[in-house]
Amino acid sequence: MDAGLSFRSHRTISSPLKYTWSNEELRLAAGNGGVTHMRHHLQLSSSYAGVPGSISTRDNCGEPLATSYHSKFMGTVDYIWHSKELIPLGVVETLPLDVLRKSGGLPSEKWGSDHLALVSKLAFVDDHSGT
């Protein structure tokens, strides 16, 4: 799995979410105007993509459909990454989109942040080397 981050001004998100990054959002996210890709050499995998989940809360890659929702954005901006020395055993599902929409946006009286909590139970891989 490629853990590189990609910021594209005309990215398409599968229905029911569609969002286009503005030039200002790209500049703020990347820290520099004109930057559209950021990469690193860490070999990381997503906890959510590594655990089967519900089609009501996950996209076709296994990531949450939304981890943030406010007046200008509904989508996924938060992840739990892990190295190959760890394996995800389980995750707590995020809220379905219909529940988020009914809230009218986050934060709300019920949820105190504009980001949903992500939780993953991880275990060390047993490499059978005795170390």
Instruction: From first to last of the 131 residues of the chain, give the pLDDT tens digit.
Output: 334 444 333 333 344 455 566 778 777 777 777 776 767 899 999 999 999 999 999 999 999 999 999 888 898 999 999 999 999 999 999 999 999 999 999 998 888 999 999 999 999 998 776 55
Q: What is the pLDDT of residue 23?
A: 77
Phi, psi of 3 (to 5 degrees): -95, 10
Closest CA to 51 of 75, 86, 17, 98: 86
Q: What is the pLDDT of residue 58?
A: 96
119 touches 88 (CB < 8 A):
no
Radius of gyration of the chain (CA): 17
Q: What is the pLDDT of residue 3?
A: 40
Alpha helices (H) along the chain: 23-30, 97-103
